[in-house]
Amino acid sequence: MKKILCIVLCAVLLCPMLSAFSCAADKTEKCDCPNAPIIRVNGLGASIYDANGKRVQAADFETILTTIVKAIPLVPGLLTGRLTARETEKLVEIADGFFDELGLDENGDPIGGQAVHMVYPTEVDHENGQIICFDYDWRLDPFDSAEKLRDFVVYIEKLTGHDKVFLIGESMGTIIMDTYLSVYGFDDIAGVIWYNGGYKGILTCSDSFSNQNTISAETMGAYLKQVGATSGSTFLYDLMCALSDSGFLAEAMSGILKGAYSLNDEGYLQDFLVRNIGRFPGFWSFIEYEDFDAAIEYAFPTPELKATYAKLIARVTRYHTEVSANVDKLMKTAEKKTGKVGVVCGYGSLLPPVTHEEYLQSDSVIGTREESNGATCAHVGETLGAGYRQKVSDGHNHISPDNLIDASTCIFPDKTWFVKYHMHHFSNDGYSADIIRRIFLSKGTFTVFSDKDYPQYMILNKEKTELSPLTAATDEDRTPENGFGYQVFTIIFKVNAFFLQLFKHIAGSFRE
């Protein structure tokens, strides 16, 4: 009876895909239009479902609320940085709970039939540049996702009657796309775009895996001020500034950071990493190539752990050996074979404040230097300097009007675009679609000099509704002025900082 039920369930799950493939098979006639279909490999975030069709996620509202309630008894220990052994076990249990439903086994494989439900289109308006999205299970081995992308590419080619497709990778999608190109080559690729890409690694993840995280009240305060400034809310900006400037944030973080470093020294954070996101091969692809060996040693420091996780280690090593180490070669090959390449990235924002390199330019998630594959960037709050000269002379000016970026050192100086204040990282706006279509569908090669409306440097306006060329006239300081609320919040937080200090002193005395 169980066998029959399994067969029926498999048939139900496979029917939509088989139906889609049958539609593609019916449309094998050659298309005469000049526009190959455009496939966008989406970034991290596709919904994952269990074998019963229920959506699983790391932390829904109920989980977060339950976690807060469970954590209340731990507050004194967290604030003083003096957790007892029992409290430490409870903290680890709470943290593990965030990954219960998404967890993978020691090999990096799903537990219990988890999967992303990919929808195959039955009609594609590729003649007019429709962008077709491809999703995947972002936890898994990029090679597994690349294999599924291959099936999707073949399907779209049959559906549209073309023997080539354009590929655009966005964020984590650039990793899946590069893995695809490494395995399947360029025979059916008409062009490639890396958009807000993590293909050179993501510093926040790389530092976490290689034990290089640093955090301070100063960098956290700067990041919170940025969040307030970009929110468009004077209330929130005043609140974040007062939180940092009053000393309350530093007082609150001092004990927490002390406790965090203690947990790290005692091996708890390493254990947590291995049990949870350390089992996600997809997350290992975010590690910068130079940090990979250190990450392996931090996550798996003993021969016993290396033996237990041997298959996982082999998987993630394969990605870094075959793909990550050869990204530059892949990109140059794409340019040589297709002539239709482009890189689009953001800048003007701080990274989350947990990296060993503070104040790097980023789109708020990935560093601009990595997204652009080589741009020379001033730190946030600084410039390249009044006497700065372009590093690579190629007859063109590649220095941004605000003197923050020198694109001459990029892998594609003439084919790399920068958008200032593109804070949302994932970019499904009109500009994104336009620049994609212009790079892919324009006659000849489209560069940063091809259209005055799409120069190398763009800026997102304050209303976050449209972009325009960045010039001295359009550039502006986005830092708002503090309002009356800042004075009120500062007084409140200063008083709270005093009582917090007193509370920590009393709680610490009782815990000694």
Which of 65, 44, 47, 46 has the alpha carbon at shortest distance from 56?
Answer: 47
In sequence order, the 6+-apart residues with CB closer than 8 A to the CB of 162 are 31, 36, 37, 126
Residue stretches of the chain with pLDDT short of 70: 1-28, 58-61, 63, 422-429, 462-465, 510-512
Do the strands 405-406 and 376-377 form a parallel or antiparallel pair, or are they unpaired? antiparallel
Give the number of domains in the chain.
1
Rounded CA separation 100/306 (Å): 23
Give pLDDT, residue 430: 73
- Paired tokens of 195: 């958009």
Phi, psi torsion values for 53, nearest 5 degrees: 85, 10
Helix 234-245 / helix 217-231 crossing angle, nearest 10 deg: 170
pLDDT of residue 8: 34
The verdict on residue 101 lying in a domain is: no
Pairing type for strands 341-347 and 189-195 reads parallel
The predicted structure's pLDDT at residue 429: 66
Domain assignment of residue 334, yes or no? yes
Question: Phi-psi category of 267—alpha, beta or left, where left has phi over 0 and alpha has psi -120 to 50?
Answer: left
Residue-level length of the chain: 512
Report the pLDDT value the prediction gives residue 462, as an integer from 0 to 100. 67
Helices (H), 210-326: 217-231, 234-245, 248-265, 268-275, 281-284, 292-299, 303-308, 310-322
The reported pLDDT for the residue numbered 427 is: 60
The alpha carbon dihedral of 497, 503, 506, 507 has a sign of negative
Rg for the chain, CA atoms, rounded: 25
**Mean predicted lDDT score pLDDT of the chain:** 88
Residue 30: which domain range? 13-49+113-201+325-469
pLDDT of residue 107: 96
The neighbouring-strand residues paired with 349 are 362
The answer to whether the CB of 70 falls within 8 A of the CB of 501 is no
> In this structure, is residue 96 part of a structural domain?
no
For residue 149, being part of any structural domain is answered with yes
pLDDT of residue 196: 93
CA distance 371 to 367: 6
* CA gap 56, 42 in Å, rounded: 19
Q: Is 429 a member of any domain? A: yes
Q: Tell me, what CATH number does 191's domain have?
A: 3.40.50
Q: How far apart are CA 446 and CA 450, in angstroms?
A: 6
Instruction: Examine residue 490 and state whether it is found in any structural domain, yes or no.
Output: no
Q: Say if 145 falls within a structural domain.
A: yes
Q: Can you tell me which residue has the tokens 């062009």?
A: 191
Identify whether 134 is part of a domain: yes
